[in-house]
Copies of this chain bind each other. A is one copy, B any other.
Amino acid sequence: MSGNHGWRRLGARTLIDDRWLKVDALRLATPTGTILDPYYLLTENAWACVVPVTSEGKLVVVEQYRPGADALTLEFPAGDIDPGEDPATSAARELSEETGYRPIGPLHPLGSLMPEPSRNTGRGTAFVVLVAPAGPAHADPAEAIRVCERNSEQIEAAIDTGLFCHAAHVAFYYQALTRNLLCPEQLSDASDAGKTQT
């Protein structure tokens, strides 16, 4: 990003660099000449998220303890995109691993969002898909998760109480809702999948 929009990177020190997190302390000059040092830049993996809708119009969510929130939370299934993997494949894989459900219709892309564009390179890409139970979940043993089905009213109540608190997942929920993509009839139509692509 040297010179981007008048911002200049004058230096960088790598403080953490491993599989899960990279943190660089940058020395940046803004267009007005202000020096920001340290400006922490976090480099994170890209991830995929799936908004799974059953034939009954319920949403499949996972309940798990989250150390950042220090609480049990509800989220959609999501996980890192493996190197070279396309986001739709990652989304379908995470759905299967975390919940045991499988897609029974096309994946409708919602687009990508960034949890913290100011200083974090991480980006999540989401899809809505019609799903059905297909067997047991095979979640990573590190993820002690419980799978549940919730209707829209329950999701919105969980957003209001803070149980469903992951900002990107909340955004994906509302994007799916306002695009009428939480209706099973709409989701089963493969011809519509292309139209929702952004």
Contacts and interface: CB of A to CB of B under 8 A. Distances in A.
Interface of A: 1, 4-7, 15-16, 18, 20-21, 23, 26, 28, 30-32, 34, 36, 38-42, 65-73, 75, 111-124, 141-144, 159-162, 165-168, 170-171, 174-175, 177-178, 198
Contacts of A20: 38, 40
A41 B21 CA distance: 10
Given A1-B70, A21-B40, A170 B113 contact: yes
B118 A115 contact: no
A20 B16 CA distance: 16
24 contacts: A1-B70, A4-B71, A18-B38, A20-B40, A30-B142, A30-B144, A32-B141, A32-B144, A41-B68, A42-B42, A66-B117, A67-B118, A68-B119, A68-B120, A69-B114, A70-B121, A75-B117, A113-B170, A115-B115, A115-B116, A116-B122, A117-B166, A170-B171, A174-B174
Nearest to A174: B174
B198 A160 contact: yes
Contacts of A1: 67, 70
B144 A6 contact: yes
Given A165-B112, A171-B170, A69 B117 contact: yes
Nearest to A119: B68
Contacts of A72: 5
Oligomer: number of copies: 2
Contacts of A67: 1, 7, 26, 28, 39, 41, 118-119
A68 B118 contact: yes
Given A23-B23, A198-B160, A114 B65 contact: no
A164 to B, nearest CB: 9
Nearest to A160: B198
